[in-house]
Chain A
Amino acid sequence: MSDFLTDGAGTDAPVHNADAFPAPDHADQAILTAHRASLLGCRSCGRVWPEDHRTCERCGAALVPPDRRGLQAVWAWLLAGMVFYVPANLLPMMRTSSLGGLGGGGDATIIGGVIQLAGHGDWFIALVVFAASVMVPIGKFIAIIWLALVAGKPATVGAAHTRLHIYEVVEFIGRWSMIDVFVVAILSALVQLGFVVSIKPGPAAVSFALSVAFTMLAAQSFDPRLIWRGLPLHRRKE
């Protein structure tokens, strides 16, 4: 392992980052990673430690090697998220009663609420709610499943960049699914006009919130460093 500095002084030496900032190198000429150098990087503050370290001495975060075994946590959280997404769609999200039940009302599921909104002509809001509570969660499930399946498998450099990009989108967008839970809370707190109309939250709110939280945890436990692990080396050092 000590032969890096003598042998690979050209492309394999770690890179100085302060004076010049070249665009990301898409050719990826065998970039030296912490893993290949038998070191372990801290994902919270970036400091590098020997491989047998378990906690980062600067920020106190746990050091985890970029290993496919870590994907078990991703699968577990993801499965929990998907399980709770089923009742979130089947059970009612909101219960409306108007004019003491005479003016109609009833239970609305997530999809039911979207259809109601669209029926009133509020197409834009219907689209926002549909995107936040149907398209985004299902898109996230598919994206995380795909990322976890291909993680650590060989890829081209271009494919790795695409995967990292998808991961960043999933990580960013996860929290926005909570919109629907907040909408239900605001409506039920606000629309309490006694006999005229009142809204109560339905059981789907809990399972939807849990589904969002578990999917966020799945995305957080995915290690993006795995995306790069399968890249072919131009020159093998090991």
Chain B
Amino acid sequence: MMQQGEYDMKTGAGLIACPRCDALHVEEELPVGVTARCIRCGGVLARPRAGAFTQIIALAITTMVLVIAAVFFPFLEISRMGLGHGTSLFGVAMAFSDGFLAPLVVVILGAVIGLPALRAALLVYTLLPLARGRPPYAHAVRAFRLSEQMKPWSMAEIFIIGTAVAMVKVGGLATISFGPAFWAFIALVFVSVANRSFMCSTTIWDAIEDAGARTDGREMVQSA
């Protein structure tokens, strides 16, 4: 346990280094609503927000529901000269199931469905007890780190832009109708954008620790 403003230049306890430029700062428990920026590069160091955990949990559960809907409902349908063809999200991934393109099936399923859903599940697992003021579940630290690592690889919002481009390409060729899965995906994009604005990893790391996860004995206590 450390007191507010106490730090040790030998062990680094009580200090924060900016991940972008390495500038040292003294760690402090920030009041809600304040943003801490790096004095050198201006990057955000911490941004605690009131009720952020509850909002992240709500959005993560929404994500899971939408992903399930997107998987099971029809995605797009095309018709031309009395011929029609519909496809689901699985159908889209399976487009690559021929020969040596097959690994792309896994890539698309993972980037578009798997990782967004898994990330949402990991966030709920990490934050649910914290939002209710209970100690975190076992391996919450690993769960949250995994979700942070998956962040750049979950590409649902890119997929929907890809859909728009594909629509224009087919546009003149045939008539297209959108299935429920398409709308679920549009909603998913908005949810993921909203989620990003509530997320502050530093605050979550701090909260996991404050709530009594296995710690390194360095968590800060509010001196007041």
Contacts and interface: CB of A to CB of B under 8 A. Distances in A.
A206 interface: yes
B96 A205 contact: yes
A193 B169 contact: no
User: Could you say which interface size class chain B belongs to?
Assistant: 35 or more
Chain A contact residues, majority secondary structure: mixed
Interface string B1-23: 00001010111110111111111
A194 interface: yes
Interface in A18-63: 18, 21-25, 28, 31-35, 37, 39-50, 57-61
A201 B95 contact: yes
B142 A60 contact: yes
Given A21-B36, A191-B173, A225-B20, A58 B9 contact: no
Interface stretch (B58-66, B81-89, B117-125, B127-135): B81-89
Interface stretch (B38-46, B49-57, B186-194): B38-46
A49 B81 CA distance: 68
Interface in B18-39: 18-26, 28, 30-31, 34-39
A206 B166 contact: no
Given A24-B41, A28-B40, A185 B21 contact: no
Contacts of A22: 39
A161 interface: yes
A192 B84 CA distance: 8
Nearest to A122: B168
Most buried by A among B25, B40, B158: B40
Contacts of A39: 9, 12, 15, 17, 24
Interface of B: 5, 7, 9-13, 15-26, 28, 30-31, 34-42, 45, 76, 78, 80-81, 83, 85, 87, 91-96, 98, 100-101, 103-104, 107-108, 111-112, 141-142, 144-145, 148, 152-153, 155, 158-159, 161-163, 165-166, 168-170, 172-174, 176, 201-202, 205, 209, 215-216, 218
Interface of A: 1-2, 4-5, 14-18, 21-25, 28, 31-35, 37, 39-50, 57-61, 66, 117, 120, 122, 125, 128-129, 160-161, 164, 171, 174-176, 178-194, 196-197, 200-201, 203, 205-206, 209, 216, 220, 224-225, 227-229
